Amino acid sequence: MKKETDILSFDYLVIGSGLAGLSAALKLAESGTVAVVSKREVQESNTKYAQGGIACVIDNKDTFEEHISDTINAGGTLCDKTIVRKIVENGPDAIYKLIQYGAKFTTRGDMGEVGPHKDDFDLGREGGHTKRRVLHAGDITGEEIEHTLVESCKTEKNIKIFEYHIAVDLITSEHLGWDSKNYALGAYVLDIKNNKIKTYISSATIVATGGAGKVYLYSSNPDVSCGGGIAMCYRANVPIANMEFYQFHPTILFHPEVKSFLISEAVRGEGAVLKRRDKNDRLISFMDNYHELASLAPRDVVARAIDNEMKKNGDDCVFLDIRNKDEEFLKKRFPNIFAKCLEYGINMAKDLIPVVPAAHYSCGGVKTDINGFTGINGLYALGECASTGLHGANRLASNSLLEALVTANSAAIDIIEKSKNIKENKLSGKIPEWSCGDATNSDELVVIAHNWDEIRHFMWDYVGIVRTTKRLERAKTRIKNIRKEIEKYYWDFLITPDLIELRNIASVAEIIIDSAISRKESRGLHFNSDYPKTDTKLNQIDTVIVLNTKYNH
Ligand code: SIN
């Protein structure tokens, strides 16, 4: 690795290039220069893979109160009601801003309707929603949004995008020993193609790195989802909340040649029913035994029900049955899913779709307020890596894009306002260059790959949909050993993207395990069969994990 460090100064630094990061960048660009750092190509983010859409009260037959109540019913007593209200009520304005940038959502006319309502948005339904309120762009909503924002950012002269740049650590005044009042100064970032560490200096830093699905063996997430933002904030001493609530999506396509392909919950919203085969090969729908909303029950209930049916009956998968809809409708409403299934010999209009649950969304994350503020001056976390209090113990489907959009806007406003005061006192000393070991030992690279695999396997087996205290304790022992090993390699060997991601994944795994161990009850997405019932005494208590030893770089 080259030792020299580039130093780059911007007014604002955004780490992550999904909906939260890019929409914040666009707003911040009205007031100053913005660096957007992206691990791969700028469009590669969790946002791009969102299929369902954005939940928002657009229809005049729907109300804010109903959306608020559905959110709280799904998330249980851990939702912060003030935050839920703010995000739901700010939804329509945020959506219109996205439309102004150029995002196009499917209308009823697009679905073949003629007449006075043809220009109204076609609204989808998903689990836990009592109304149709999900705006979508076919079944590639995320791609449409991501594309729109990327194009807008590319034409904005105040925004510079750095692709193939992966953040290593945040820089704070506390970690430099500068000041008793902690504030963020930027980040050390590895320029992957040139193999050198750059120092980004900024008056405010936004962490918008998405989720951490890769911590589990099976996930709907793209490879970039390694929990980098959560791990970096943790190392910078920001509290991390509610990480035991990892959401498992009930329906990922089960096929030996397909990795991580989601069958959107919107398919159930259009009438698909979950079924399994009995001993005599008869198809049985089973969700009525678990919830009054059957296949459209909240996600925690559906994922646990599928897990239970598969384990009880020794099945490899269950099935989605949407053969009650005709082919033309399915092609129009789910063009991407229809085409993908067909590629693997499944015609949704004629065949059952084999599905299994997989890790999908982190409901916990970096603890923030409605503006994404972390409590450290100049440091913000947005989108999936943040925990505002909206999701509580279980996220309502399609609420996450809404949260990212609303909080990105309020974060940018807050940052611009506060930056006016903190700009002058920021750089009261010289920021040291990044230093690390420079040993290389290709024999030892196998350790990195092995540790990756080991974490993802035991997280799936011991910290998955249904947990026990004994299995959580086992996972804790293993992660402690791996973390020790990683810290050794981290300091002795050259930094590579794999090592950075492994270090982050290991931290996030440990935080999930610690959070799960400390919750002595079953609630929402956290189900521990040693505590089958929610303990009402623990009502309203978030799990908060804070770094106990200061990080030492
Ligand atoms: C889906 O389309 O099922 C995913 C939507 C979400 O996770 O909110």
524: phi > 0 → left, psi -120 to 50 → alpha, else beta; which?
left
Residue 533 lies in a domain: no
Q: State the average pLDDT over residues 468-476.
A: 97
Query: Which residues 6+ apart lie within 8 Å of 40 measured at CB?
Result: 163, 164, 224
**How far apart are the C-alpha atoms of 114 and 391, rounded to whole Å?**
37
For helices 497-518 and 445-462, angle between their N-to-C axes, nearest 10 degrees? 30
**Annotated catalytic residue 268:** no
Residue 514 lies in a domain: no
Residue nearest atom 4 of ligand 1, based on CA coordinates: 52
The rounded mean pLDDT for the chain is 92
Catalytic choice (133, 299, 467, 503): 299
Q: Looking at 2-11, 130-139, 167-176, which range is the least confident one?
A: 2-11
Candidates 7, 5, 23; CA nearest to 380 is 23
Residue nearest atom 5 of ligand 1, based on CA coordinates: 52
**How far apart are the C-alpha atoms of 345 and 334, rounded to whole Å?**
16
Q: Looking at 38-42, 144-148, 289-293, 297-301, which range is the least confident one?
A: 297-301
Residue 269 main-chain phi, psi, to 5 deg:
-60, -25
pLDDT at 447: 82
Global pTM value: 0.94
Statement: residue 239 has pLDDT above 90: yes
- How far, in Å, from the CA of 298 to the mean position of ligand 1? 12
Matching residue, tokens 């329509």: 92
Structure tokens at 148: 């729109």
Tell me, letter by letter, the H, E, C secondary structure of 522-540. Answer: CECCECECCCCCCCHHHCC
Q: Are 204 and 12 in contact (CB under 8 A)?
A: yes
* Count of the separate structural domains present in the chain: 1
Residue 268 lies in a domain: yes
**Best mutation site among 19, 225, 249, 263 for ligand 1, i.e. most ligand atoms within 8 A of its Cβ?**
249
**How far apart are the C-alpha atoms of 217 and 209, rounded to whole Å?**
20
Alpha helices in 164-227 (DSSP H): 173-176
Q: Are 84 and 69 in contact (CB under 8 A)?
A: no
Residues in the chain: 553
Residue 326 lies in a domain: yes
> How many beta carbons lie within 10 A of that of residue 401, not counting itself?
29
Statement: residue 16 has pLDDT above 80: yes
Residue 275 lies in a domain: yes
Statement: residue 552 has pLDDT above 70: no
* pLDDT grade for 490, boundaries at 50, 70 and 90: confident
Looking at the CA of residue 126, tell me the nearest atom of ligand 1.
3
- How far, in Å, from the CA of 396 to the mean position of ligand 1? 9
pLDDT at 426: 61
pLDDT at 181: 80
- How far, in Å, from the CA of 86 to the mean position of ligand 1? 22
Looking at the CA of residue 265, tell me the nearest atom of ligand 1.
3
**How far apart are the C-alpha atoms of 198 and 484, rounded to whole Å?**
26
What are 404-446's pLDDT values in tens digits?
999 999 999 999 999 876 654 466 678 888 876 666 665 667 8
What are 450-470's pLDDT values in tens digits?
999 999 999 999 999 999 999
pLDDT at 191: 96
Residue 272 lies in a domain: yes
Work out the end-to-end distance of the chain between its first and last CA atoms, rounded to an integer number of angstroms.
18
Candidates 195, 238, 214; CA nearest to 502 is 214
* pLDDT grade for 306, boundaries at 50, 70 and 90: very high
Structure tokens at 141: 């909503």
- How far, in Å, from the CA of 337 to the mean position of ligand 1? 13
Residue 305 lies in a domain: yes
Residue 497 lies in a domain: no
Q: What is the CATH number of the domain that holds 316?
A: 3.90.700.10
Sign of the four-CA dihedral 525, 526, 531, 536: negative
**Best mutation site among 398, 400, 402, 405 for ligand 1, i.e. most ligand atoms within 8 A of its Cβ?**
398
Candidates 388, 341, 395; CA nearest to 542 is 388
Sign of the four-CA dihedral 45, 51, 57, 58: positive
CB-based pocket (< 6 A), ligand 1: 51-52, 262, 264-266, 361, 397-398, 400
* Domain span at 278: 246-360
Residue nearest atom 8 of ligand 1, based on CA coordinates: 398
- How far, in Å, from the CA of 10 to the mean position of ligand 1? 35
Statement: residue 489 has pLDDT above 90: no
